[in-house]
Amino acid sequence: MNGAELVLKVLQQQGVNTIFGYPGGAIMPIYDAIYHSTVKHYLCRHEQGGAFSAIGYARASGKVGVCLATSGPGATNLITSLADALLDSVPLVAITGQVSQAVMGSDAFQEVDVLGLSLSVTKHSFMVRNVKDLAATLQEAFRLAQSGRPGPVLVDIPKDIQLAPAVEPEWPEYPAPRIATSLANAAKARELIANAKKPIAYIGGGVQMADALAQLQTFLAESVMPSVTTLKGMGSVARANPHYLGMLGMHGTQAANLAVQQCDLLICLGARFDDRVTGNLAKFAPGAKVIHVDIDPAEINKVRFADCAFIGDMKQILPAISATTQCEAWLAHCQQLKQQYGWRYDHPGERIFAPLMLKQLSDRMPDNSVVCCDVGQHQMWVAQHMRFNSPRNHLSSGGLGTMGFGLPAAIGAKLARPQDTVIAVSGDGSFMMNVQELGTIKRFRLPVKIVIVDNQRLGMVKQWQQLFFNERYSETDLSDNPDFVALAAAFAIPGHTITRKDEVESALDAMFTWPGPYLLHVRIDEKDNVWPLVPPGAANEDMLTETN
């Protein structure tokens, strides 16, 4: 056995059966080992796509995503995806081939200092210098990627290590990690909750990542209060909960933003006061005391001071801070906000109104479908107008906001959950950023449904130009888009274009009925914008709406 074969052994031992990657010189020994391995490798068409597929796989399944790339250009192509995984706390192990140690540091062919390059976009990066350390380093990478706050870990393996003779190590039994959790502040938190007149729960992606969705529903049933979620937290609150107000932040619902601005107690669960959430920080929830629960100590007091903080396991903390609330008037007030500012889907004219189309998509998609988004207006419309019953079913690039995420993430999600319907909702700009992954869909005949919301613009940028740059539409016109249906056809993927409202329902039905991959090209009016919107620098109560 050589080092490369040992890499595959470790993957198997970690329970990995699906990996994504692209071969090249410095990683050829590992690809040679893949040739004989039972671990299934999915050839992507660009390393960024492969890593996004690994991220989609991880986010849809809760397992670690694994991607491979060769040295130099292969590894540099991973960087965007590593950053995406870091900012969205996705457990990812990236394995890169490196030139042999004998030539390392000599500007050898396809040599790049990947370790140095990756430092600021990974949780940790390893370089293996001795084949004796190979198995333990990889195991440590898997442990680290999942432990505490999950994140991407890179392992750079020089080619000589891959080729060196290796022996199968004893596989140590790792005890399940124990998360240090202090409940010392529990009584204080319960008191804050019991005495609050206007409490609200602000829920991020961390609750689901802590596997604490059940504890969250119990908490919200015992400590009855309104709740809002971040982009990554969407789907955390059970649909039946009447006090859920939707997403907060820049494109959040008016009810969610107004309620958070007015609350006197903000219970932040697995979220991090991102600037897209808070708007003008100094004016964010100005009258609120804060209870902050997170697994990462560095998030506490980073952006907003916490009056009461908990670091550790959400599953243990939520039951410990539950207290009966007395806030009938507040609940009624929030209910009224929700009614007053409900979405409206009446829209003049024959053209397709994306919010309505996405609501129709949401109503029609099978239970437990996974929706993977790209970035822009369509992403915000998905968050606003589609409903999810778990954050695992809504994969959106939140922290990094990476165009090109949707299509490859959908590939990963489909491989993680072959029984569930997977839909990629993309914009005409974003779709072109990883369009080469249609080749991956073709090769593996993956029945992914693709919906392109085509406004022939870089819509979100165009909206800002319209609102904040005096309608100077610099470089946001895409009216020379390719024929998307013909493009799909080149990859043996059938498709259809619709332009009118009355075509939507039958087109969605046709897409879902078709057994294989399918591309639905939806032409919309380029003038449609995302509302409401908190302008940069404004407080969250100062939302712009279509009419003002």
Partner 1 sequence: MQHTLTITTSNEASVVERLLQVTRYRGYQLAGLELTPLTDRAGMQITLKVQSDKPITLLTNQLAKLYDVQHLVLASADVAVLRA
190 lies in the site for ligand TPP, by CB under 6 A: no
Beta-carbon neighbour count of residue 231 at 10 Å? 29
- Which of the residues 404 through 433 are near ligand TPP (CB under 6 A)? 404, 427-430
Residue 373 φ/ψ region, left for φ over 0, alpha for ψ in the -120 to 50 degree band, beta for the rest = beta
Residue 328 CB burial class (10 angstroms; 0-12, 13-18, ≥19): exposed
CB of residue 229 to partner 1, shortest distance in Å: 25
Query: Which DSSP symbol is given to 366?
Result: P
Q: Which of 47, 111, 299, 437 is catalytic?
A: 47
* DSSP assignment string, 107-130: --TT---HHHHHGGGSSEEEE--S
Nearer residue to partner 1 within complex by CB, 120 or 340: 120
Q: Which of 9, 123, 159, 289 is catalytic?
A: 159
DSSP bridge partners of 395: 372
CB of residue 298 to partner 1, shortest distance in Å: 4
127 lies in the site for partner 1, by CB under 8 A: yes
**Is residue 109 annotated as a catalytic residue, yes or no?**
yes
**Is residue 310 annotated as a catalytic residue, yes or no?**
no
Task: Find the DSSP H helices in 25-180.
Answer: 28-36, 47-61, 73-76, 79-87, 114-118, 134-146, 159-163
Give, in order, the Cα–Cα distances in Å from 541 to each of 253, 279, 385, 547. 11, 9, 21, 16
Angle, CA 346 vertex, CA 345 and CA 347 arms, to 5°: 105
Which position among 130, 301, 340, 545 is part of the footprint of partner 1 (CB under 8 A)? Answer: 301
Q: Are 412 and 404 in contact (CB under 8 A)?
A: no
Which position among 375, 386, 407, 451 is part of the footprint of ligand TPP (CB under 6 A)? Answer: 375
319 lies in the site for partner 1, by CB under 8 A: no
**Lookup: tokens for 314:** 């959400």
**Is residue 314 annotated as a catalytic residue, yes or no?**
no
CA 117 to centroid of chain Cα atoms: 23
CB of residue 535 to ligand TPP, shortest distance in Å: 16
Nearer residue to ligand TPP within complex by CB, 81 or 254: 81
**Is residue 110 annotated as a catalytic residue, yes or no?**
yes
Which position among 72, 74, 376, 391 is part of the footprint of ligand TPP (CB under 6 A)? Answer: 376
Which position among 37, 81, 89, 125 is part of the footprint of partner 1 (CB under 8 A)? Answer: 125
Nearer residue to partner 1 within complex by CB, 123 or 385: 123
Q: What number of chain residues touch partner 1 (CB under 8 A)?
A: 16
403 binds, among partner 1, ligand TPP, none (CB under 5 to 8 A by kind): ligand TPP
CB of residue 331 to ligand TPP, shortest distance in Å: 35
Give, in order, the Cα–Cα distances in Å from 57 to each of 50, 350, 410. 10, 38, 8
49 lies in the site for ligand TPP, by CB under 6 A: no
Instruction: Give the active site residues.
Output: 47, 109-110, 159, 460
